[in-house]
Chains A and B, each alone.
Chain A
Amino acid sequence: MTTLRVPATVASLATVAEFVGRAVAAAGLTEKDAYRLRLATDELVTNVIMHGYPVGGAEEIELHATVGHGRVLLLMEDSAAEFDPTRQQHRVPSVDPDDMRVGGFGLVLARMSADRLSYERIGDRNRTIIIVRRSDRALIDHEDR
């Protein structure tokens, strides 16, 4: 298992992407799988940064990557307020650009990207687990497009 601890700021997204990239390479995932894992991680980390922690604090986010045969399990831990990304309403995309709310896309994409997304609250910590397997599947299945 490898671990990354970063400040909870958007500047950390590049470091997070490099960390995910190393796990993807070690697991031998395809480019499509790699995109899905990066996207799911990016969206969940960004959500904690933007909405979980108060602005201007000195909080951190921890990522733990476990690489198996053709699979990456990524555990994200943070100390923000309790938030379960698996229980949020799946927003049906609007087709009206004038009424569409700007935002809320991230969690939808995270759920689509991950092969499995789970959550637990242990003490004062959020623990979100993302699993992506080598499948070469696209972000959305053909029939959903």
Chain B
Amino acid sequence: MPTRTLDVTVSKEGELAVVALTGDLDSRTAPTVQEHVGAALTESRLLALDLSNLRYMSSAGLRVMLLSYRQAQRAGGEMAVVGLSDELRMLMSAVGFLSFFTVADNLADATKLLTEDR
């Protein structure tokens, strides 16, 4: 039985600060993600939330996404979500997030999308 935990890694990929999540994002693990997002935004104004290895997400993850989006905007930056599974795409769609979030398949595409308008 897999352990229900979340690993968060922060890295820099070119101009992007990347917060990558592996495991389960729920109300128990969400506060850690928010802390890492805040730290990542001090490194770069362009933020990618990499969800390629996220196995499960509840509405706590949607709140993290929305707060991160606002945090990035306040910092004068932009944010993309990367590597959505079908389930995550549907969660975002259910609450209207797909109409304003930048969504990319991979980090290269995220970089392109976040920098092309500058």
A87 interfacial contact with B, CB 8 Å: no
CA distance A21 to B55 in the complex (A): 14
**In the complex, are the beta carbons of A102 and B66 less than 8 A apart?**
yes
A50 interfacial contact with B, CB 8 Å: yes
**In the complex, are the beta carbons of A145 and B58 less than 8 A apart?**
no
B1 contact set on A, CB distance < 8 A = 18, 21
- A-B contacts counted at CB < 8 A amount to 83
B60 contact set on A, CB distance < 8 A = 46
> What bracket does the count of chain A residues touching chain B fall in?
20 to 34
**In the complex, are the beta carbons of A109 and B59 less than 8 A apart?**
yes
**In the complex, are the beta carbons of B28 and A11 less than 8 A apart?**
yes
**In the complex, are the beta carbons of B28 and A140 less than 8 A apart?**
no
Q: A10-B27, A17-B4 are in contact. Are A93 and B63 (CB under 8 A)?
A: no
- A selection of 12 A-B contacts at a CB cut-off of 8 Å is A13-B27, A21-B1, A42-B26, A43-B59, A93-B95, A97-B100, A100-B66, A105-B63, A106-B58, A109-B91, A138-B86, A140-B90
Name 19 extra pairs, CB < 8 A, besides A18-B1, A139-B90.
A13-B26, A13-B27, A14-B24, A14-B28, A17-B4, A17-B26, A21-B1, A32-B87, A43-B59, A96-B100, A97-B66, A100-B66, A100-B96, A105-B59, A105-B63, A105-B94, A109-B59, A109-B91, A138-B90
